[in-house]
Amino acid sequence: MITVHSSYAHDFDRHWKLEESRTESNILLFITKGSLYYWVDKEEVHLQKGEALFIPQGSLRHGASDQVSDHQRYSTHFSLHVQSKDNPWIRNLQRHWKVTISNPDYVKQRYVTLNQQWLAKFPYYSEICQAILCEILSIMMRDKESALTPSIKVGHIMELKKYIFHHYREKILLKELADHIDRTPNYVSTIFKEVTGQTPVEYIQSVRISAAKEILVNHSMSIAEVADYLGFCDPFYFHHVFKKVTGYAPSALLKDRKTIKRKL
């Protein structure tokens, strides 16, 4: 999905300038000290400590210091390979955007690890760099979308998710979710899709299947027992939902469980 081409930490003084050029790959910048200015396709972007900027491949960009202070930033160049047009990454990575990071210390720590792996070239460094960059981008996209969503809606979704986590083994009706936050079923359906990208039913199924995967690998229950434990009406429907969510049948995890037991 992601191919990292380079990743470095940079310290620049107040006289730094970047001449205008067209980007050969996607670029992610994360500012950890000071501030600077970027121009992406002629649009000015002021970046400060704790903020990040995504620049898509092919953009015309140049930059300059604010002429007042030194600055420090992390910079990663990468390619993105996504087939499905419905993938949320496509929606977020078509044009440049800036975001204020909600947990900059954590993102900086992840970037430190990313750059260590990139510079040291340890075995599997490429795969590790891809995984870390994927995590960083996901955090930034979540912060970006949260900033665009009214806080009251986010609060309602958090309450609904808590309710689902406590009742996912039961049959959860849309009206129950609506009553839980004193809103209408239509409101719940609308904000759930808007904030999470999933319908309430899809989210409930993803929670149940996540639990099913853990049980199938780490416990001795059969597929039928797991289906019943998680509130599915029958094993055939459980099999259908499991494969729809994961892309493979639940029986595949039983094979993994047998392999683990043989090794033990």
- Output the pTM of the full model: 0.61
Are the CB atoms for 143 and 101 separated by under 8 Å? Answer: yes
- Rounded to the nearest angstrom, the gap between the alpha carbon of residue 40 and the centroid of all alpha carbons in its chain is 24
Assess whether pLDDT exceeds 90 at residue 252: no
Write out the residue limits of the CATH 2.60.120.280 domain(s) in the chain.
2-148
Nearest partner of 51 among 117, 115, 114, 96, judged by Cα: 96
**pLDDT band for position 262 (50/70/90)?**
very low
- Mean pLDDT throughout 22-33? 96
Helix axes 200-218, 185-196, angle to 10 degrees: 60
**pLDDT band for position 83 (50/70/90)?**
low
Decide which of 3.30.70.141, 1.10.10.60, 3.60.20.10, 1.10.569.10 is the CATH code for 151-263: 1.10.10.60
**pLDDT band for position 67 (50/70/90)?**
confident
Write out the residue limits of the CATH 1.10.10.60 domain(s) in the chain.
151-263
**pLDDT band for position 259 (50/70/90)?**
low
Assess whether pLDDT exceeds 70 at residue 260: no
What percentage of the chain reaches a pLDDT higher than 70?
Answer: 93
Strand segments, DSSP code E, in 13-123 are 17-22, 26-33, 35-40, 43-48, 51-55, 60-65, 71-80, 97-100
Are the CB atoms for 64 and 108 separated by under 8 Å? Answer: no
Q: What is the mean pLDDT of the chain?
A: 89
The dotted CATH code for 2-148 is 2.60.120.280
For residue 172, give Cα distances in angstroms to 106, 116, 157, 179, 237.
Answer: 35, 46, 15, 12, 16
